[in-house]
Every structure is written in structure tokens, then in C-alpha cells.
Amino acid sequence: MHLVNTTFLVESSLEKQFPSEIEDFICMVEKETDMHSPVLTRVNAPKSEEEPEGTNFALQFRAPTGEAMRKYHDELLPQLFRMLFKRHGEKVLYFTTILDVIR
């Protein structure tokens, strides 16, 4: 089992609308893949002065198989990233981490 985590740095002006923008993506992923147990969180951690302004969100899905994870990572995430860039440019930045679930 894999846990796929995408962390987003969202400019403060978009903080309130961002969760609803991601909701359609979550529904699409659940409909088109075997990915499950989505969790969208706001990262609650102190920031250093060097970090850019904004709010961090993390979106996680569990992938029961490598095939489900690859479809999500290679096909669906790029769609989300293109949509976010088209709407917001560099006001939303992101990176994805794939984790192997041990327990």
C-alpha cells in the first residue's frame, strides 16, 4: 500500500477558496481510480522568516496497488497541476511525495 501526499503552498488570497477547488479533483480521483481514504489538511506548523507567505495544505490518498498510484501520479495529478496553474499561476506551488505504508 502506498500513501501519496501532495503538499501545496497557497498564497494567502486563495486560502479560503482552495479547499473547495480541490474537492472536484478528490471526487474525480475516487470515481476514476482505486485510490481511497482522501484527507485534505491544513498544515499547522510554525514558519520561519525565510519561508514564503501563504498557507500549506496537504492532500493524501491511499493507493492499494502500484497501478492505481501510477495512474494517479502520471495522469490525474498533472491534470490538477495544469488547472491550478491556469487559474492561479505561481500563486499555488506544490510537490508530491510517495510513501510506502509500513503499518
In sequence order, what are the residues at sequence separation of 6 or more whose Cβ sits closer than 8 angstroms to the Cβ of residue 77? 6, 96
pLDDT at 1 exceeding the cut of 90: no
- Rounded CA-CA distance 23/60 in Å is 13
pLDDT at position 46, please? 74
2 beta partners: 63, 100
62 and 36 Cβ atoms separated by less than 8 Å: yes
pLDDT at position 23, please? 94
| Range 24-49 average pLDDT | 89
